[in-house]
Structure 1
Amino acid sequence: MSAAASSGAKDQVARLLTLVPFLHAHGQVRVDDAAAALGIEPEQLLSDLKVLLMCGLPGGYPDDLIDVDLDALEGPEADGVIRVSNADYLARPLRLTPTEATAIIVALRALRSGATDETREVVDRALSKLEAAAAGGVTPPQIDPGDDSVDAERARLAARLQDAADRGVQVAITYFVPSRDDESERVVDPRGLVTAHGFTYLDAWCHSAEAPRLFRLDRIRSAEVTDQPVVTSAEGPRDLADGLFTQADETTLVTLRLERDARWIVEYYPVEEVRSRRGGVLEVDLRIADERWLQRLLLRLAPHARVISPPEYDEMFTSAVRDTLRLYR
């Protein structure tokens, strides 16, 4: 897997959404025939089928997940025929309960608040259809969490920060850090605003960290534009087209060893490279910006994951496990 792993995951989701109804409509079909019909390589189809094994209804119990007969696809007795079971519910039209529909509507409206104009058009169309369907033919409920006032305030903040970047003056901000549940006071040299994954960021040199940083606008509690000129070299904002974590000076490249029960993170988080090892084990390279995030992830994955490099991260995790176990004594 290349550095374009995040886009590869998106492509795989699109393939799975096509693959499932195809298999349901055709029943048992040979791998080569299915790959040709779907326009992909047989090896890619086999990889997608292995991911399909982890998909299904909420709960994650064996009876909830789709079952793919891998023995028929791999091994000396394989006949190359795809057999999928425990997926009959896919033939039934989706019916949302009022609670489920309301949760999706609220989530879409929250997404809308940080989206670009183009994305908002898509979200608005989805909201219109979903609200009408959830209303059952009566006047759709208008669920409004107050986006307009938040949007206006954030737009004014963005304009002030961009103006400070254009004039080359420093900004004093109060910034909320979710990983520490803490607010910090910082002085930054603004470089400009950038957008990625539906969020707007201030790209700036942070004098507290003594390094360039990205600050999400919805986490900036306050911002005071000063008259002090910036003291770092004038640079434009970074291009985030390839993702947030492409800057080597802000992130650490970590290699993890993942057993079968931990392989799901490859599809959930953007990774740099994946290497297969014996026994279904994967070696995964990913970039992290906060070692505490990695520690929490490893505690969730234990005992099915460990750090290969850097070695000090493995020592840090081992120490955290000992401290955690000590609490239960």
Structure 2
Amino acid sequence: MTPRTPAPAPGARDQVARLLTLVPYLHAHGQVRLDEAAAALGVAPRQLLKDLKVLLMCGLPGGYPDDLIDVDLDALEDPDGDGVVRVTNADYLARPLRLTPTEATAVIVALRALRNGARPDTREVVDRALAKLEAAAAAGSAAPRIDPGADGGDPDTALLATRLQDAADRGRQVDLTYYVPSRDEESVRTVDPRGVVSTGGVAYLDAWCHLAGAPRLFRLDRIREAVVSESPVVTDPEPPRDLAEGMFARSGGTTPVTLRLDPPARWVVEYYPVEEVRPQSDGGVEVDLLVADPRWLTRLLLRLTPHARVVDPDGAHPEFTQTYTAAAKSTLGLYT
């Protein structure tokens, strides 16, 4: 006789499903005895009591007592209690769900992220929910579709992309608080957004930066705060740049620079986008790259000292060497 495989213990997923069923059930039937509710849900009364204790910790964001669902446990656990389930402060669960465009977009993006790692049975449920949400969004244009890519993406970043693209479409300025990791500092600047673009799985805001006086790309995951203003953009509207050829395609905001790298500095070719690499007889290389910010080049040269230098035979860009030399002298002065 083949022994029977024991049934798996109920997990958190089953408990969540019961709780989502229980609250609407109580709203529809009013006060119900614990044993009756347990029978309707197909669980033992003891298990349902455990579920209700979890329900006590659920509610609206904030976590304050007035935000949480209240369950009269005395009526269920006290020997003199009447055994009737009484759930209060959960009326909002009985109301039809209405999502704002931002909320709908957040749910869609979160569901897509969840789908990537879900089991087949869970994925089927997620797909049904996604189909309903996206159909409703498309019908009412309530929530623009944000494709987080194959890896799901971050819902907060997707929501930020939606807001910034909307500002670009409406021609409204945006006040950014932006983190610059190379300087380990935050800067506050006003920009005229042109659109959200992406390359290599990273999303950027393409905008005219009034602080820099030039177009700039801002990584969305480095934007600490973005406040959409009612002030209209003051620069001529332009479409966002095409990043199909990478971040540093030639434009008016970049400068071509040639570096001579000794063998210990050849790693630069593996870490930064370069246009051309020319091997040298001593094992080093000459590389051509595009520089959008001279300060970035100065910091790179300081890291590579003494194994890198700017090659400028025509003297077209002496400022690069001069800035680097001044920064190197200032750094050495800190040790004297």
Q: Note the residue ranges of structure 1 that are not aligned, 5 or more in a row.
A: 1-115, 126-149
CA positional deviation for 1:151: 2.9
CA positional deviation for 1:242: 0.9
Rounded to whole Å, the distance in 1 between the matches of 2:255 and 2:116 is 35
Rounded to whole Å, the distance in 2 between the matches of 1:211 and 1:252 is 13
Partner of 1:325: 332
Partner of 1:196: 199
Is 1:308 aligned to residue 320 of structure 2? no
Q: Is the contact between residue 308 and residue 314 of structure 1 (CA under 8 Å) also seen in structure 2?
A: no
1:286 aligned residue (267, 274, 289): 289
Q: Letter of the 1:319 partner, please give it.
A: A
Q: Note the residue ranges of structure 2 that are not aligned, 5 or more in a row.
A: 1-108, 119-152
2:236 aligned residue (223, 233, 245): 233
Q: Is the contact between residue 162 and residue 192 of structure 1 (CA under 8 Å) also seen in structure 2?
A: yes
CA positional deviation for 1:243: 0.9
Partner of 2:218: 215
CA positional deviation for 1:281: 3.5
Rounded to whole Å, the distance in 2 between the matches of 1:231 and 1:320 is 36
CA positional deviation for 1:244: 0.8
Rounded to whole Å, the distance in 2 between the matches of 1:306 and 1:256 is 6
Bigger Rg, which one: 2
Is 1:164 aligned to residue 171 of structure 2? no
TM-score (norm 1): 0.51
Q: How does 1:24-103 map to 2 (within 5 A)?
A: none
CA positional deviation for 1:247: 3.8
Q: Letter of the 2:167 partner, please give it.
A: A
Rounded to whole Å, the distance in 1 between the matches of 2:289 and 2:200 is 18
SS at structure 2 position matched to 1:209: coil
Rounded to whole Å, the distance in 1 between the matches of 2:210 and 2:221 is 21
Cα distance change, pair 296–228 in 1 and its aligned pair in 2 (3 A): closer
Is 1:271 aligned to residue 271 of structure 2? no
Cα distance change, pair 295–210 in 1 and its aligned pair in 2 (3 A): closer
Rounded to whole Å, the distance in 1 between the matches of 2:213 and 2:328 is 31
SS at structure 1 position matched to 2:282: helix
Cα distance change, pair 173–300 in 1 and its aligned pair in 2 (3 A): closer
SS at structure 2 position matched to 1:224: strand
CA positional deviation for 1:218: 1.4
CA positional deviation for 1:124: 4.9
Q: Deviations over 1:293-317 (max 9, x none)?
A: 3223222322221111333212222
Rounded to whole Å, the distance in 2 between the matches of 1:268 and 1:183 is 24
CA positional deviation for 1:268: 2.5
Q: Deviations over 1:84-140 (max 9, x none)?
A: xxxxxxxxxxxxxxxxxxxxxxxxxxxxxxxx99x9799859xxxxxxxxxxxxxxx
Cα distance change, pair 314–120 in 1 and its aligned pair in 2 (3 A): farther
Cα distance change, pair 304–173 in 1 and its aligned pair in 2 (3 A): closer
Cα distance change, pair 235–201 in 1 and its aligned pair in 2 (3 A): same
Partner of 2:144: none
CA positional deviation for 1:256: 1.0
Q: Is the contact between residue 258 and residue 287 of structure 2 (CA under 8 Å) also seen in structure 1?
A: yes
TM-score (norm 2): 0.50
Q: 1 or 2 for the larger relative contact order (CA 8 Å, sep ≥6)?
A: 1
